[in-house]
Structure 1
Amino acid sequence: MRPELSRRQFIQTTGAAGFGLAATRLARGASLFEPGPVRVLSIGVIGTIGGADREQVAAHPEAQIVGLCDVDANSLARASEDHPDAFTCTDYREAFARHGDAFDAVIVSTPDHSHAPIALTALAHDKHVYGQKPLVHQLEEIALVERAIAAKPDLVTQVGNQRMAYPGRRAAVEILRSGVLGRALEAHAWTGAPGPDPYFNFEHHLSAPVRPPEHIDFDLWLGPCQERPYREDLLPVKWRSWWDFGSGGLGDWSVHVLDVIFFGFDELTSPMSVVTHAQHPADTFHTHHCRSTITYAVDSDAFAGKRFAIHYSDRNQAPSRAALGLPGDRWPDSNMTVVVCEGGVLSLTAGGGLEIWRDGELTDGLALPGLPEFGELNHWHAWIDNIVGVPTELRTPFRDGARITEAALLAVKASRFPGQELLWDKAALAFTNHAEATDTVVRRDYRTGFAPPEVG
């Protein structure tokens, strides 16, 4: 059994950066690294549709929103009503070029395809970054982000993973890390998405090209993607179903169901292979009804063998409870994480409902002996706290977000080659047994002026 981590060790191992920074508060135009009087942390927001991110961060007593950037003039105007003194612009590049001295941290709440160009621009300008999930859109961008955070170790980063504040999810991490359930055999994670809801183009309906609305700068919205016509079923949110812009259900929910597996096992660095069974993919959209197996080579007493597989599915394709030794026939949620160990099964809902099953007997996960107290945790405020030098449990820094996103993107990208095992070499950014996959799903041909910068 691996020793139980103390609370201090637990926080340190989750990658919370910036604990050594002075508790400096910042005003517009100030630098985090300059000594001076107590000020307030100034934050720029790129993508104002993410109202919860903006509202939660603005509620922190040591933070203020000083800038707003959005390609949607209507959304920008609504956000400006809440922050009338903030500068406004439509182009994120202008935000950094003209207003970069006004802010020291950035919230990136934009569609998936523009996450990496904006976040990496922020890191290149020495800005702390809160970025929405999934962390990036292309496999190559994971390597770009990892190099950037290695080059900028004092910058505090956080992926939008608010569900990790739930006590049950934090307890699940400690249970896995302690080894109290014995060596791990396999993991299962699944999401009910995509569904026939406002967030996905569930039926893959491709409407006719039309002129973009007057309030949308569609060219800026496209950003790194190649030019194409505007279609009414693309904005404001159904881009999630589009191959070039979103990540489907597997990508959209990945950080909320895969996270605990990676927090529980530091040994899961980069997969060796992926295979996704899926319906025949469409050219424009992500397919759904995907079942993916992501395999890791491991050499640790935390695992029962030399290979560890994560089975990740969409459309509520859950494993058999009977096959896992669990009674009943229904799982408690459509978004779940299950880790099977030699001494029991950990079952966790996205909302933090934690069950431990041993020999078919149920134990309340939060009632296991030896767990610390899990006090209230504000996911957004933890990011601010760590920037200003107040050590707070931080979930999910980009270091961990990169591992989670790599697994998710491999599952997503492999759906273009249904049923084919793809052998992954992260160092080479290549599928060693599949040249076509390497050439088509690892990287993007960025449009001139929108490529992410190389940092470090």
Structure 2
Amino acid sequence: MSQVPEAPSRRDFVKKSTLAAASFFIVPRFVLGGKGYTAPSDQLLVAGIGVGGKGESDIAMFAKTGKARIAFLCDVDDRRAANSRKAFPQAKYYKDWRKMLEKEHKHIDAVSVSTPDHNHAMPALAAMQMGKHVYVQKPLTHDIAEARALTDAAKRYPKVVTQMGNQGSSNDGVRQLMEWYDAGTIGDVHTVYCWTDRPVWPQGIAWPTTTATPPAELDWDLWLGTAPKRDYVDHLIPFNWRGWWPYGTGALGDMGCHLMEAPFRVLDLEYANAVQASVGSVYVDEFKRGYFPESCPPSSHVTLTFPKTAKTKQDITMHWMDGGIQPERPDELGANELFGDGGNGILFIGDKGKMMASTYAENPRLLPLSRNQEVSVPQTLARVPGQANGHYGQWVEACLAGAGKTKLSSPFALAGPLTEALLMANLAVRGYDLQKPKAAGQGFDYPGRGRKLLWDNQQMRITNLDEVNQFVKRDYRTGW
């Protein structure tokens, strides 16, 4: 398989650029002055790539800080971009992020990426190579190789400020969990459960057989981006792409960064070394179970093994459950007491107690719940002003201050390994349903079922089932 392509360098962009060698005229603060006025030189010039849906709310939150100016907008779908274009009428609009970076790189300080998962890595990497700060929606990437590439890029370009869009990492909840654990409140954690009621979009289905003409406002080829060329279908946009492997990463990609982030922070987890999975089945008719290799399954249970860290005495087992599957209720939880937030949750099991939280690590609680009135530990960790909403301002402030000057909740040094963990889980999910033909007329075998997949972190490959390594790094479409 091909290497993850390197994006064009800044030198290449500059060489190709047709822009005149002119700079912005900055009006001094003392001329325009006034209480609360922010000089243009003190504003972060942000380019948004993918500005509908979550991208729309992301750039609105950057602008709300008063310290960021949305200077450029880029989206392949004029319909999705309409609200952002109305909100930021002075921002120049593009459909192709490559053209935008090539022509406007001199006038961009930072880039926000909120495209479908399969098109996260390339614009982010291109921007980093040009020295632009980057904010990338979760999951950071579509493939494990891409996640490692962005993690490494953050080391190669230390002046670039990075942040992933898992805003719950800025909540007080994860810091409260860390303080409880660091104080020894629940002892040594050996097992963690994360679960969600997602997906809330179709999964475990056949690819639609009826094609359609793309809407005039949509550049379908640009939407496909790195993915293989295929005919347009109405089913995918704006949301259902999440359930298809060429574009999305299923429930794990949607919710994993929100639920697995707290265990990563509390326990100092990094890279898993083994993974196994089981998945739910669907039936195409009354008697026949379906197999749809392009579609994520309707439910899954994945078990990841992490080596012990400086904060644990033993290896850690993390269970991921989606599609409504939940772990057994803890004995310490009353029969009518809410488990997680009902549909989603995080449970830490230590040798001296348990603690749980809801989505985004909100509402952290010790178990039994009576302990929350009995236990008090000192606050040792600084909180993020505004919590989840402050996640955006935290990045803006860090970009303006310069790399290394302020602390971030989800820099790529943390977001990269976290994303790799959920993509490793997906590796096992996809491996579980791999089909391998048996002898003629004897059907198919499923070589990934019933196996624990062993991961070589340095080589980035599964060592005991080579068939699944095809999902570690995909081939990009020609030109991408």
TM-score interval for Structure 1 and Structure 2 normalised by the shorter chain: 0.7 to 0.9
1:387-441 CA-partner distances (Å, limit 9, x unpaired): 1128655221111111211110111121122243111112111100011111x21
Supply the distance in 2 between the matched residues of 1:172 and 1:65 (Cα, whole angstroms): 35
**CA distance change for structure 1 residues 166 and 367 in 2, over 3 Å: closer, same or farther?**
farther
Q: Cα distance, 1:325 vs. partner? A: 4.2
Q: Cα distance, 1:367 vs. partner? A: 6.6
1:95 counterpart residue number: 100
SS in 2 for 1:210: coil
1:346 counterpart residue number: 355
Supply the distance in 1 between the matched residues of 2:167 and 2:277 (Cα, whole angstroms): 28
State the number of aligned residues: 409
2:166 counterpart residue number: 161
Supply the distance in 2 between the matched residues of 1:366 and 1:138 (Cα, whole angstroms): 45
Q: Is the 8 A contact 2:193 2:320 kept in 1?
A: yes
Matched residue type, 1:445? D
1:209 aligns with 2:218: no
1:222-255 CA-partner distances (Å, limit 9, x unpaired): 1111101111111111100011100111111011
1:278 aligns with 2:279: yes
2:446 counterpart residue number: none
Q: Is the 8 A contact 2:203 2:295 kept in 1?
A: no
After TM superposition, the score normalised by the length of structure 2 is 0.80
Supply the distance in 1 between the matched residues of 2:365 and 2:328 (Cα, whole angstroms): 16
SS in 1 for 2:51: coil
1:7 counterpart residue number: none
Question: Which one of 111, 117, 136 corresponds to residue 122 of structure 2?
Answer: 117
Q: Is the 8 A contact 2:203 2:297 kept in 1?
A: no
Q: Cα distance, 1:364 vs. partner? A: 2.9
Larger displacement relative to structure 2 (272-281 or 208-217)? 272-281
1:371 aligns with 2:412: no
1:18 counterpart residue number: none
Question: Which one of 209, 228, 243 corresponds to residue 226 of structure 1?
Answer: 228
Q: Is the 8 A contact 2:51 2:80 kept in 1?
A: yes
Matched residue type, 1:247? T
The 5 A counterparts of 1:412-451 are 412-418=426-432, 419=449, 420-438=451-469, 440-450=470-480
1:45 counterpart residue number: 48
**CA distance change for structure 1 residues 344 and 209 in 2, over 3 Å: closer, same or farther?**
same
Question: Which one of 382, 396, 399 corresponds to residue 394 of structure 2?
Answer: 382
Q: Cα distance, 1:299 vs. partner? A: 5.2
1:185 counterpart residue number: 190
SS in 2 for 1:44: strand
Aligned-residue sequence identity (percent) comes to: 30
Supply the distance in 2 between the matched residues of 1:110 and 1:205 (Cα, whole angstroms): 24
Supply the distance in 1 between the matched residues of 2:430 and 2:476 (Cα, whole angstroms): 20
SS in 2 for 1:291: strand
1:326 counterpart residue number: 333
Supply the distance in 1 between the matched residues of 2:479 and 2:166 (Cα, whole angstroms): 30
Q: Cα distance, 1:174 vs. partner? A: 2.8
Q: Is the 8 A contact 2:344 2:359 kept in 1?
A: yes
Q: Is the 8 A contact 2:76 2:222 kept in 1?
A: yes
Q: Which has the higher contact order (CA 8 A, sep 6+)?
A: 1
Supply the distance in 2 between the matched residues of 1:448 and 1:218 (Cα, whole angstroms): 16
1:274-332 CA-partner distances (Å, limit 9, x unpaired): 001113552221012100000012254x3242x2111011023221124x543326514
1:92-127 CA-partner distances (Å, limit 9, x unpaired): 101111111111101101000001111111111111
**CA distance change for structure 1 residues 332 and 261 in 2, over 3 Å: closer, same or farther?**
closer
Unaligned runs of 5+ in 1: 1-27, 451-456
Matched residue type, 1:235? I
Supply the distance in 1 between the matched residues of 2:40 and 2:60 (Cα, whole angstroms): 26
Supply the distance in 1 between the matched residues of 2:344 and 2:127 (Cα, whole angstroms): 32
Q: Cα distance, 1:347 vs. partner? A: 0.3
Supply the distance in 2 between the matched residues of 1:312 and 1:282 (Cα, whole angstroms): 22
1:297 aligns with 2:307: yes
Q: Is the 8 A contact 1:321 1:327 kept in 2?
A: no
**CA distance change for structure 1 residues 88 and 328 in 2, over 3 Å: closer, same or farther?**
same
Q: Is the 8 A contact 1:168 1:366 kept in 2?
A: no
SS in 1 for 2:454: strand
Q: Cα distance, 1:258 vs. partner? A: 0.3
Q: Is the 8 A contact 2:203 2:296 kept in 1?
A: no
Structure (1 or 2) with the larger CA radius of gyration: 2
**CA distance change for structure 1 residues 174 and 235 in 2, over 3 Å: closer, same or farther?**
same
Q: Is the 8 A contact 1:355 1:365 kept in 2?
A: no
